[in-house]
A and B are shown apart, each in its own frame.
Chain A
Amino acid sequence: MLIITDGLPRGLGYLSIDNRNVEAPVKNRLFEADTYTCTHCEVVVIMNPERKRPRYKCRGCNHHICDNCAAIREAGTPCKTYRQVITEALEAAERQADSGKSIILP
């Protein structure tokens, strides 16, 4: 069994900024980077290959989150993913719809 212990995110998105056809002085002709999506706020994090600091992995959702959300999480705010927010909103809407259908008998 393979156990990955480097703490890096797995299964990543992909960002490409391709300036190879730009006929102007450009510092970085082709920039390619892995990305991951913060589960708490859904911001797309472009992984800086030069970064040495570890990336924060939330123990609540077992997923890497962005630095802003990591700071909030470290301050003691419990884990709540964006999907949970949407699910709660959907359920609330469903409950509201159900309650509208109920018949109150005298």
Chain B
Amino acid sequence: MARYSASWSSITAAAVADTTTFTAGQAPGFLRSGAATQQLKVNEVYIGGEDAASNPTSFILGRSSTISVGALSVGQNNLLDFTGTAPGTTASFGSTAATTFPQRSSTGYLLDLSVNTYGGIARWQARYGEEITAYGNTAPGGELVLSSKTGTGKSSGHILYEVV
């Protein structure tokens, strides 16, 4: 199956509460499944802090309570295997949604990566077979949101995932 890297560069997160609609550039990114029966498996999340001063930030990877609508932009989403063929329908990643921005669910926290973005690094790797999944194109299963709940850290990083 096709494995992808979704990445973002130098995004300064905003501290956004649960069930609050994001606006452009407030979060590292939203990873949305591309179809009603498409499944994604996330097996690595990496966050590298880029601030010039101390800035403890709590990055949450969680599910959406309101799913994004429209094309997602500002973010890279590339096949890991150069010789690989993309599936007919791919997932979307970005920090800007063309139509509607998502909201982070208050009950769907999957990872809480707290890091001081003044040079700090957070990295999580799943054991094989224990990946975080997203499924379908409706909330809460169809989208994963990586965002800050407290702190306004600037970061770059990636999410490695597989389209099943």
| A, B co-complexed | yes
Query: Nearest chain-B residue to A12 (Cβ)?
Result: B127
Q: Does B25 contact A (CB under 8 A)?
A: no
Q: Which residues of B contact A89 (CB under 8 A)?
A: 37, 135-136, 141
A-side interface size class:
20 to 34
Tell me which residues across on chain B come within 8 A of A74, comparing CB atoms. none
B72, chain A: closest CB distance, angstroms: 22
**A13–B133 alpha-carbon span in the complex (Å):** 15
Report A-chain residues with C-beta under 8 Å of the C-beta of B116.
19, 22, 24, 26
* A16, B125: Cα distance in complex, Å: 9
Interfacial chain A residues near B133, Cβ < 8 Å: 42, 82-83, 86
The interface residues of chain A lying within 8 Å CB-to-CB of B79 are: none
Answer whether residue A90 sits at the interface, using C-beta atoms and an 8 A cutoff. Answer: yes
Q: Are B124 and A22 in contact (CB under 8 A)?
A: no
CB contact between B37 and one of A19, A26, A44, A90 (< 8 Å): that residue:
A90
Tell me the interface secondary structure of chain A in the complex. Answer: mixed
A15: which B residues are within 8 A, CB to CB? 113, 122-125
Contact A44 B111 (CB under 8 A): yes
B29, chain A: closest CB distance, angstroms:
18
Name the A residues within 8 Å of B37 (CB-CB): 89-90, 93-94
A36-B130 CB under 8 A given contacts A15-B123, A17-B120, A86-B39: yes
Tell me the minimal C-beta distance from A19 to chain B in angstroms.
4
Contact B132 A21 (CB under 8 A): no
Residues on B with C-beta less than 8 A from A90 are 37, 39
B121, A18: Cβ atoms closer than 8 Å: yes
- The chain B residue with its CB closest to the CB of A86 is B135
Are A17 and B115 in contact, with the CB atoms below 8 A? yes
Known: A11-B128, A17-B115, A26-B116. 15 other contacts (CB 8 A): A13-B126, A14-B125, A15-B113, A16-B124, A21-B120, A35-B124, A35-B126, A35-B127, A42-B110, A42-B132, A42-B133, A44-B111, A89-B141, A90-B39, A93-B36
